[in-house]
């Protein structure tokens, strides 16, 4: 079941809904699966759902479990202040790695909710032995997810399709060395998506020292703490992808490419591998350049249209003032007077519109030119893929 990033967020929001065993979970018209486990562990604070792509009976057999091939785990964020009070010390360890190096936080202050969340994921992986997994979490649920995936074994990591963790503090510095190495090795599977305008997000001093690949969104200000935290500032493109800050978008693409390069190079890079990596790099750069140009030109066009509106408003205001000062004059006399000082609609509006529309046309042409460049690069890569099936199979990994 392929979901775009906007749909993934819609799925993550389901963690705050109330479901019972057997309930179907939809994102739009897409059936994700059925609720097979509901965890409301008041003694640890964990609230989560385990969703399987196959509907299970109330008393499933081992055969029923084996028939499940896709599982989604949703970790709910905080619903009370008590949730944060019981877990915040571990999150604040991210601010003080020197203190954390003593092992105080890791050995003694792992919140029960984090241990419980890992147990939920671990037990589900053992129970649904043929399934691939996706993990979602928001806020405190993001911290649950970070800790849960950090504890997975190498064998379990191979069955993790992806972890999508939103708006939670970074717990990387609070992990053991082994857990740090685990999440660093599997950065390309774990996505830590954050809005820098959200006050709940902290501990992200260095994106390399974080659980997974950090995605900094290009957010709008909601002027409301709750809305900002609950995905309110997120913006999307026409394909449902989250808009990231431009430098982060390119950084993520190249990071994942380098990780894939390391994976391929373990067996020695073949000619096909080298062509693939070059082609993938070209596509990533082309996409990011196009995105940057589109956003820059759209912003410029918006400003230019604003100048046109200001010119029209200025002409209206000039006529209004002239009428106020020449109340005994006819409309023609007022216009003739303005014309004598070169205050005409042609000077105030028409010439301004012509000037800025010319700039708008050039900006749109720049967008079109870069779109053509990006399209031609992709066509060149596609032509190569059509003649090299091995390369085509590798390219689908990106």
Per-residue pLDDT for the chain (398 aa), expressed as one digit of tens each? 789 999 999 999 999 999 999 999 999 999 999 999 999 998 888 999 999 999 999 999 999 999 999 999 999 987 655 555 555 545 544 444 443 444 444 445 688 899 999 999 999 999 999 999 999 999 999 999 999 999 999 999 999 999 999 999 999 988 989 999 999 889 888 999 999 999 999 889 888 899 998 999 999 999 999 999 999 999 998 888 888 887 666 566 655 565 555 555 555 555 555 655 566 666 666 676 777 778 888 888 999 999 889 988 888 888 888 888 888 788 888 888 888 888 888 888 888 889 989 999 998 888 888 788 777 776 776 666 566 555 455 444 44
Q: Residue 147 corresponds to which tokens in the numbers above?
A: 């800790």
In this prediction, residue 100 carries a pLDDT of: 43
Fold of 5-243: Rossmann fold (3.40.50)
Residue 128 phi/psi, 5-degree rounding, is: -100, 75
In this prediction, residue 333 carries a pLDDT of: 83
In this prediction, residue 396 carries a pLDDT of: 47
Where are the domains positioned within the chain? 5-243, 245-398
The overall pTM is greater than 0.85: no
In this prediction, residue 94 carries a pLDDT of: 46
Q: Which residues pair with 110 in a beta bridge?
A: none
132-138 and 24-27: which strand pairing?
unpaired
């Amino acid at each position: 079941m392929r979901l775009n990033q906007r749909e993934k967020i819609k799925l993550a929001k389901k963690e705050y809904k109330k479901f019972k065993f057997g309930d179907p979970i939809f994102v739009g018209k897409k059936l994700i699966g059925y609720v097979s486990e509901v965890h409301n562990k008041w003694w640890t604070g964990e609230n989560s759902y385990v969703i399987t792509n196959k509907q299970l009976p109330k008393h499933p057999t081992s055969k029923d479990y084996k028939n499940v091939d896709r599982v989604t785990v949703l970790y709910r964020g905080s619903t009370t202040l008590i949730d944060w009070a019981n877990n915040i010390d571990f999150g604040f360890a991210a601010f003080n790695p020197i203190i954390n190096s003593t092992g105080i936080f890791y050995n003694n202050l792992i919140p029960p909710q984090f241990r419980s969340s890992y147990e939920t994921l671990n037990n589900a992986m053992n129970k649904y032995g043929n399934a691939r997994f996706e993990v979602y979490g928001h806020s405190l649920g993001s911290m649950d997810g970070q800790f849960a995936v950090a504890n997975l074994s190498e064998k379990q990591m191979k069955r993790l399709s992806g972890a999508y963790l939103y708006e939670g503090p970074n717990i990387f510095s609070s992990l053991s060395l082994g857990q740090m190495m685990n999440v660093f090795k599997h950065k390309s599977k774990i996505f830590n998506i954050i809005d820098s305008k959200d006050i709940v997000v902290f501990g992200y001093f260095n994106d390399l020292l974080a659980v997974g690949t950090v995605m900094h969104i290009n957010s709008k200000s909601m002027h409301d703490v709750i809305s900002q935290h609950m995905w309110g500032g997120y913006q999307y493109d026409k394909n449902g992808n989250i808009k990231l800050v431009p430098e982060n978008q390119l950084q993520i693409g190249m990071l994942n490419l380098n990780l894939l390069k390391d994976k391929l190079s373990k067996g020695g890079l073949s000619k096909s591998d080298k062509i693939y990596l070059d082609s993938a790099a070209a596509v990533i750069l082309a996409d990011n350049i196009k995105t940057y140009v589109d956003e820059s030109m759209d912003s410029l066009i918006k400003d230019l249209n604003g100048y046109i509106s200001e010119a029209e408003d200025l002409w209206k205001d000039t006529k209004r003032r002239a009428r106020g000062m020449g109340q005994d004059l006819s409309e023609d006399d007022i216009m003739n007077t303005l014309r004598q000082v070169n205050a005409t609609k042609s000077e105030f509006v028409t010439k301004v519109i012509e000037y800025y529309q010319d700039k708008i046309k050039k900006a749109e042409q720049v967008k079109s030119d870069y779109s053509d460049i990006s399209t031609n690069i992709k066509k060149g890569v596609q032509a190569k893929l059509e003649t090299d099936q091995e390369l085509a199979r590798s390219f689908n990994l990106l």
